[in-house]
Structure 1
Amino acid sequence: MYLSASEQQALRGVFTLLARDECGEREIRERLGHALLGLLRADQFASFVWDAERGGFGSRVAINMAPANLDTYAQWHQHHDPITFVLQSRRRATRVTEVMPQRELMRTPFFNDFLARDGLHWGLNLHTFDGERALGDLRIWRRKERGDFGARETLMLDLIEPAFAGALLRARQRAQAPRAAAQDIAASPWASLSAREQQVARAVREGLTDKDIARRMAVGVPTVRTYLRRIFDKLGIERRSTLAGVLPRD
């Protein structure tokens, strides 16, 4: 496929965007949407994430579409949509006219009461999955006077799909990492220590003696040693030197 200089530059920009690991899933879809409007000479863009448990599309991102009209999609039109689930089943870039002739689509309430209100006429969709889990979709539309998308635009969108899926997966993993780390800490032996026991353990890590710890905490040395025995039992260790190595860093 021959690409013009401007198309090559735009495509490089898309891949550069998708290679960055600084954006969340929603921002990736929004930034890509702006890039695709230029690359594919399109007018409107929308993106959703299919929620199989809820049985609906959510996490909406849209460009050049009226929010109120999109609200009607969420409330009614997505449940009476004659094309999107067919497009979703393709798992590849697909023109709307491949799954329903344009004249037939134009006779549906979905077209007249939803698409036409924002000037959406010719459509190209890509629904991206990781196995059976939906990652996000790309719904690109043109006004009537621009004409339908062709094999050229479809192929470019298919070329982008692996990088798009990878960017979304990495963003999801980054978002989940802090929660996983917090769960690991909560499940660790450290979490079984009381606040006073953790205070003693940190003081040991600083190299304080039992007497120093007792002075800091305003308790007797025997109390400090009682705390230490409890700490050793809970952490399954026997020596102070070992204790310093198993503590999480603040």
Structure 2
Amino acid sequence: MYLTSRELALLADVFKLLADRALPEDVLRLEVGRRMLDLLRADFFGSYVWDDTQGIFTNRVAINMSADNLGNYERYFQYRDPLTPLLQHQRAAVRVTDVMAHDELAQTELFNDFLRRDGLHWGMNLFVWDGDTNIGDLRIWRGAHGENFSDHDLAMLELIRPAFTAALARSRGAAGIATLPDGVAVEFTDGDPIARLTRREREVVTLAAEGLLDKEIAQRLGISYTTVRTHLDRSFQKLGVSNRSRLARLLQLPRR
């Protein structure tokens, strides 16, 4: 497989990102998607996580797509989607046209009332599997002004699949024990509000609720200041709080 110097540099950046153990799952998917749009010269990106219990896609992140339109997909189109189930069961990167001819897709409600609304025309997807569990995906699209994805494009997306799978599996974070660097362990049960956070997010918000500044948290956990801010922003959003005082009250931890 021949790669240009541009492609090599962009792929190196993707693999560097995938090696970052501090990124939460949704940030990881978003940042990989942003880089793949650049690498593949594509226009649109979306990503979900499959909830096997409910039988729905959740935890959306997206680039250059309408939030209203994606909301329509989540409320209506995903239940009437003839395309995505065909793509989801592929264990490697796949073009949309590899599972459904474009002329056939263009006759569907999904294309005319969802995909075309944002300008999506040519698609390529990667559904990530950890054993028998679908743990995330990358949905990459070009507009009608572009060309269908080539075999070379497909090979580059497939190239990142093993590392992306490992990174997603690592970053999922389950409820349990979060252990801070100084050896202090904090237990979270399913009934706790922060049980919905990743392990690293729990570590960051616990230290923030105790009164540590962002720079102090970064030093304590051995991560960057920017990463601390990313974890806090995502945690505040998930918990429905807007500042450290409300976070401390939610966790019922004394502030310094």
Counterpart in 1 of 2:3? 3
- Alignment deviations for residues 131-185 of structure 1 (CA, whole Å, 9 cap, x no partner): 111210000000111110011111111110111111111112487552996169x
Secondary structure, counterpart of 2:145 in structure 1: helix
- Which residue is 1:121 aligned to? 121
Change (3 A) 1:70 1:176: farther
Which residue among 175, 183, 187 is the counterpart of 1:182? 187
- Assess, with a 3 A threshold, how the Cα gap between structure 1 residues 177 and 23 changes in structure 2: closer, same or farther: farther
**Higher CA-based Rg:** 1
Residues 1-250 of structure 1: pairs in structure 2 closer than 5 A: 1-173=1-173, 177-178=177-178, 182=187
Question: Which runs of no fewer than 5 residues in structure 1 stay unpaired?
Answer: 185-250
Maintained 8 Å contact 2:142/2:148 = yes
Q: 2:23 is paired with a residue of what secondary structure?
A: coil
What SS does the corresponding residue of 2:48 show, helix, strand or coil? strand
Q: In the alignment, is the contact (CA less than 8 A) between 2:177 and 2:188 conserved in 1?
A: no
Root-mean-square deviation (CA, aligned residues, Å) is 1.8
Partner Cα distance (1:18, 1:176) in 2: 24
The 8 Å contact of residues 175 and 188 in structure 2, kept in 1 or not, is answered as: no
User: Is the 8 Å Cα contact of residues 87 and 96 (structure 2) preserved in structure 1?
Assistant: yes
> Stretches of 4+ moved more than 6 A in 1?
none
SS in 1 for 2:113: helix
SS of 2:89's partner is helix
TM-score, normalised on structure 2?
A: 0.69
Whole-Å separation in 2 of the counterparts to 1:147 and 1:91? 24
Distance 2:71 2:158 in 1: 29
**Number of equivalent positions:** 184
The amino acid of 1:52's aligned partner reads D
Cα distance between partner residues in 2 of 1:11 and 1:125: 17
Identity of aligned residues (%): 48
In the alignment, the residues of structure 2 paired with residue 19 and residue 156 of structure 1 have an alpha-carbon distance, to the nearest angstrom, of 18
- CA separation of 1:175/1:147 partners in 2, compared to 1, >3 Å: closer, same or farther? farther
Q: Which protein has the bigger helix share?
A: 1
